[in-house]
Structure 1
Amino acid sequence: MDAPTPIAVILPTTGWNDVCEQIADQLQPDDELLVVCDEFHESVADRAEARDGVRSIVAGEPEDCSGKANAIAAGMEAADAERIVWTDDDFSHPSGWLEKLRIDYDRRGPTSELPVFVGRDPLAAVLEPTHAISGTLAVSLANIPWGGSLVFERDDLDDEQRFLDELRQTVSDDGLLSEHVEFTTIKRPRHVEIGGSTRETLENQARFVKIVRYHDPTGTAAQGMLAAVLTVACLLFPLPMLALTTLSMAAIYAAFGIHRWTFLAAYPVALAAIPLLVYGLARRTFVWGGRRYRWDGKFDVTIEPL
């Protein structure tokens, strides 16, 4: 039997945590886990040194890009393997997670799993139907890569150095990757908690809207048209639309194994679709990961004081 293809797992994080342990336990002998932090953490370096195949990488402070994009770029430059996995530390990585991605690539080439966003505060919970549509259903149907769990190889990039240079000038790592590599999205959802406070949820809303604006402007226009049609229909035919939106959302939840009561919020969320889109487009800055970003163009990013 042939030896498994070596994989480099790039994990941006702020410190050693349970996800680091989960992934380290899944490494094959030639795999590596790169735990990427903005600055040196002795505890991370010590824990990484104690595990076979694990390295601590210091990305440094981002200048013209997001901290996540900067960390991914640093991880890719430090990685030895040709096959690359990107992942995040905000969801559980059960046994077999890495091996499934290895098999996915062997069968399908560049592959991504799916996010299911679960709200940690009341507003984020109520907005779960919007994420089920745009963050799960649309990602699945359009084969859009999700940076939380994906696999590809360096040769899949048309120009790796150009990609890394662009990565250090933008906010969305997976949004940029979608323009360089064609992915197949696997219907294998991973539940990711988001929010935590009303302010954080609103910051996420602004960031999500801007990602679509700069990486899929046609999608933003389509989203606006659909939201307008839904709003008018909900206002003109409230009872039928209440039933239709609720049942449709329940079907989407069932299709992706989402067992949450929040499908019941589908009707009010449909009414709020236009205000939410306008809010995201109108915001000049947003906070993400402890930094405030002004994102005025795909490659026009400024980090401002909090």
Structure 2
Amino acid sequence: MSERPPTSILLPTTKWTDACAEVTVQLGDGDELLVIHDGAEDPVTEQKESHEGVRLIAAGEPEGCSGKANAIVAGMEAARHDRIVWTDDDYHHPPDWLATMNADYEEHGPVSEVPYFVGQDPLSVVLEPLYASGGSLGLYLGDQIWGGSVVFERGDIDEAAFLDELRRTVSDDGLLMEYLEVTTVGRTRIVPIGGSVREAVERPVRWTQILRWHFPGTVAGICLVSLLVLAGAVLAPLPAAAILTVAHFAVYEVLGIRRWTAVLAYPSLFVFVPLLFYALARRTFVWGGRRYRWRGKFDVAVIE
């Protein structure tokens, strides 16, 4: 078997996290980890590229796109290799993570893993079951991309067109779905989310806006189904509670998750549906410390 090609791992972050260290020790000969930050004031610059194979890339302030999109553009342009892995700084990367991603590419071509979002505040905990069934399960069954763990090669996409559009939008993985077909492997990564009520509210606003601009038919379907299920939950609470709880334990089983929060599926519905419509009505949202107004798929204003 021939040796695998070297890999460029793109990891946007402003500080050196456990994930950075975990990926660093997995680098093989020729691999590189690009830690992409905003500028010289970010805490991550204290690392001063002291780790072999690690490069710090300053993306600068975003103009007309999100900070994450801006970072990915800078990383793609700076990366030296054809094989690219995108990842995030907020979850555990086990010792075989990079090797497994590369092996998956050799077997399947472009591959993505699946996130499961674990709440760090009461509201995010309550919403866990619906995030699992409405988000994680959809990614898994639909072979959709999670930008926190995806591998592909430059030749798999129209890179010039992709980067041009990425400079003018918010969602990196939402746009990549339009350029790349992947196989979603059956590995779920635990991603902590929330921590405050504000974060818990802003996150579904951003996720809903991504669906609105990239997959309007999907968000319309989610709204319709959510209203129908909510009506059933109001009219027949006991059967609905039983069905929703059992169904979400089944969802967790498919995702390989052992979490008690499946029992919150029924009350979660009464929080999720109003939040869904609130998210559609909102005109701005906060992500990574910046406030954005997303007026069209390629019409983004950074307003704070």
Residue 45 of structure 1: CA displacement? 4.6
2:28 corresponds to 1:28:
yes
Residue 258 of structure 1: CA displacement? 1.8
Opposite residue 164 of structure 2, the aligned amino acid is: D
Equivalence map 1:22-171=2 (5 Å): 22-40=22-40, 44-45=44-45, 47=47, 49-157=49-157, 159-171=158-170
Task: Give unmatched runs, 5+ long, in structure 1.
Answer: none
Check the 8 A contact 2:293/2:300 in 1, yes or no.
yes
> Which region of structure 1 is more displaced relative to structure 2, 271-280 or 4-13?
271-280
Opposite residue 297 of structure 2, the aligned amino acid is: K
Q: 2:298: which partner in 1?
A: 299
SS at match of 1:145: coil
Opposite residue 266 of structure 1, the aligned amino acid is: A
Check the 8 A contact 2:127/2:271 in 1, yes or no.
no
CA RMSD between the two structures: 1.3
Residue 228 of structure 1: CA displacement? 1.5
Query: 1:138-197 CA deviation, whole Å, 9 max, x = no partner?
Result: 01111110000000010011x211111111111110000000011111110000011111
Identity of aligned residues (%): 53
Check the 8 A contact 1:117/1:135 in 2, yes or no.
no
Check the 8 A contact 1:48/1:54 in 2, yes or no.
no
Residue 48 of structure 1: CA displacement? 5.2
SS at match of 2:65: coil
Check the 8 A contact 1:45/1:55 in 2, yes or no.
no
SS at match of 1:49: coil
Q: 1:209: which partner in 2?
A: 208
Residue 134 of structure 1: CA displacement? 2.1
SS at match of 2:91: coil
Equivalence map 1:7-22=2 (5 Å): 7-22=7-22
Q: 2:243: which partner in 1?
A: 244
Check the 8 A contact 1:231/1:273 in 2, yes or no.
no
Query: 1:187-229 CA deviation, whole Å, 9 max, x = no partner?
Result: 1000001111111110101001111111111111110111111
CA distance in 2, matches of 1:218, 1:129: 23
Task: Give unmatched runs, 5+ long, in structure 2.
Answer: none
Residue 70 of structure 1: CA displacement? 0.3
Check the 8 A contact 2:140/2:186 in 1, yes or no.
yes
Residue 41 of structure 1: CA displacement? 5.2
Opposite residue 83 of structure 2, the aligned amino acid is: R
Query: 1:47-76 CA deviation, whole Å, 9 max, x = no partner?
Result: 353222111100000010110010011000
CA distance in 2, matches of 1:6, 1:119: 36
Distance 1:79 1:120, change over 3 A: same
Residue 292 of structure 1: CA displacement? 0.3
> Which region of structure 1 is more displaced relative to structure 2, 77-86 or 218-227?
218-227
Opposite residue 88 of structure 1, the aligned amino acid is: D
Equivalence map 1:166-181=2 (5 Å): 166-181=165-180
Opposite residue 20 of structure 2, the aligned amino acid is: C
